[in-house]
């Protein structure tokens, strides 16, 4: 067969373009599949959040995970004026249309309210305002002031219309998701990392730690729990794989007046900071559960807190009381290393 020189040139060009095309695609594939490690820190949700990830295109995965955390914050922070939670609060007394995600998180929070018989209560916003924890202008309210607002506190008065995604809280009430939203954000970030096929990652969000898989060398992540009274010392070390560990403590946000420590975890029954415990660490599969439970068990206290932890499947805890006695849940006894 005779091929004219013109056709030969065209064929050569096509083969060359094809080859270049294949080369480009191959390059893209090999870049996409390249295993890299990325470590980045950003300040979001009022805390420094660090993500470390190893896997294909880890940088893109980490950036997307941060974008997701920022999105969650923009929906659930009551300090962002356009957030859905701010809308619910600003229009208290009226039905407010919200996203399915907000309905789901409110539902989870209400469920924890029920499980803990009201120790966990997302309507504590008005009490946090009264104590100045929302503005950092701390003050000790008098008993009368507290009694005046206590009738605006109570998760049972939150109404949810599931069919139409509507929420209504009583006039003057205030939702605060500070005890649960960070957990949700971390779970979402984990989903993003997993959707990028990241095999090994750690999300560190102001003391809350989430691990994806094991460490790069296959060993478990060894995570230290801060001592509640000696900030540079560790209370214990635990090993985690695909797990989350969240601590609530009276040392995180507090002020001291007349030698008494007043902190940000409020007992909804009294309107005062919860007394008896100084630190509660929860280990669970999901960060949202660990986050809600660490706050809730802190309010429940030594005995009721232990009872609840032992009742729940897949939940482990380390509880420290104000005498610095330490309790470790039964499922954790063999895998925890307590410091002297």
Enumerate binding residues for ligand AMP (CB under 6 A).
Answer: 120-122, 124, 128, 176, 178-179, 248, 252, 264-266, 268, 291, 294-295, 299
Q: Min. distance of Cβ 111 from Mg ion in angstroms?
A: 14
Among ligand AMP, Mg ion, none, what binds residue 252 when CB lies within 5 to 8 Å by partner kind?
Answer: ligand AMP
Pick between residue 190 and residue 196 the one whose CB is nearest to ligand AMP.
Answer: 190
Pick between residue 226 and residue 295 the one whose CB is nearest to ligand AMP.
Answer: 295
183 vs 162: CA distance, rounded Å: 23
**6's torsion region: left (phi>0), alpha (psi -120 to 50) or beta?**
alpha
Strand order in the sheet with 166-168: 96-97, 166-168, 159-161
Cα atoms in the Cβ-side hemisphere of radius 13 Å centred on 116: 31
Phi then psi dihedrals of residue 294, to 5 deg: -65, -40
Q: Min. distance of Cβ 309 from Mg ion in angstroms?
A: 14
Q: How far is CA 207 from the centre of its chain?
A: 10
Q: Min. distance of Cβ 116 from ligand AMP in angstroms?
A: 8
Pick between residue 198 and residue 284 the one whose CB is nearest to ligand AMP.
Answer: 284
176 counts as binding Mg ion under rule CB under 5 A: no
Pick between residue 179 and residue 213 the one whose CB is nearest to ligand AMP.
Answer: 179
CB atoms closer than 10 angstroms to residue 12:
10
250 counts as binding Mg ion under rule CB under 5 A: no
Among ligand AMP, Mg ion, none, what binds residue 228 when CB lies within 5 to 8 Å by partner kind?
Answer: none
241 vs 201: CA distance, rounded Å: 10
Q: How far is CA 83 from the centre of its chain?
A: 17
For residue 271, give both structure tokens.
């309107």
Q: Min. distance of Cβ 334 from ligand AMP in angstroms?
A: 27
Strand partners, 42: 49
Rule CB under 5 A: choose which of 102, 279, 295, 329 binds Mg ion. 295
- Residue ranges binding Mg ion (CB under 5 A): 179, 291, 294-295
């Amino acid at each position: 067969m005779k091929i004219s020189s013109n056709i030969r040139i065209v064929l050569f060009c096509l083969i060359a373009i094809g080859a270049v095309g294949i080369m480009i695609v191959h390059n893209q594939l090999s870049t996409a599949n390249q295993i890299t490690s990325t470590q980045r820190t950003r300040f979001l949700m009022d805390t420094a959040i660090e993500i470390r990830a190893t896997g294909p295109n880890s940088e893109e995965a980490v950036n997307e995970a941060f974008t997701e955390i920022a999105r969650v914050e923009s929906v659930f922070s009551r300090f962002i004026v356009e957030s859905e939670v701010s809308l619910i609060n600003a229009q208290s007394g009226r039905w407010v249309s919200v996203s399915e995600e907000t309905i789901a998180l409110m539902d989870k929070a209400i469920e924890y309210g029920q499980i803990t018989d009201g120790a966990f209560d997302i309507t504590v916003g008005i009490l946090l305002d009264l104590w100045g924890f929302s503005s950092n202008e701390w003050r000790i309210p008098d008993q009368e002031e507290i009694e005046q607002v206590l009738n605006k506190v109570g998760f049972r008065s939150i109404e949810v219309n599931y069919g139409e995604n509507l929420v209504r809280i009583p006039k003057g009430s205030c939702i605060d998701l500070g005890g649960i939203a960070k957990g949700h954000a971390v779970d979402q970030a984990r989903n993003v990392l997993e959707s990028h096929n990241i095999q090994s990652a750690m999300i560190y969000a102001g003391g809350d730690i989430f691990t994806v898989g094991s460490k790069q060398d296959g060993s478990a992540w060894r995570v230290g729990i801060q001592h509640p009274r000696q900030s540079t010392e560790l209370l214990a070390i635990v090993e985690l794989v695909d797990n989350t560990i969240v601590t609530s403590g009276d040392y995180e946000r507090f002020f001291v007046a007349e030698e008494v420590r007043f902190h940000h975890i409020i007992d909804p029954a009294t309107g005062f900071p919860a007394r008896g415990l100084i630190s509660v660490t929860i280990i669970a599969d999901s960060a949202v559960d660990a986050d809600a439970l660490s706050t809730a068990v802190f309010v429940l206290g030594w005995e009721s807190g232990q009872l609840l932890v032992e009742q729940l499947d897949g939940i482990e805890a380390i509880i420290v009381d104000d005498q610095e006695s330490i309790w470790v849940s039964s499922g954790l006894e063999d895998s925890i290393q307590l410091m002297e």
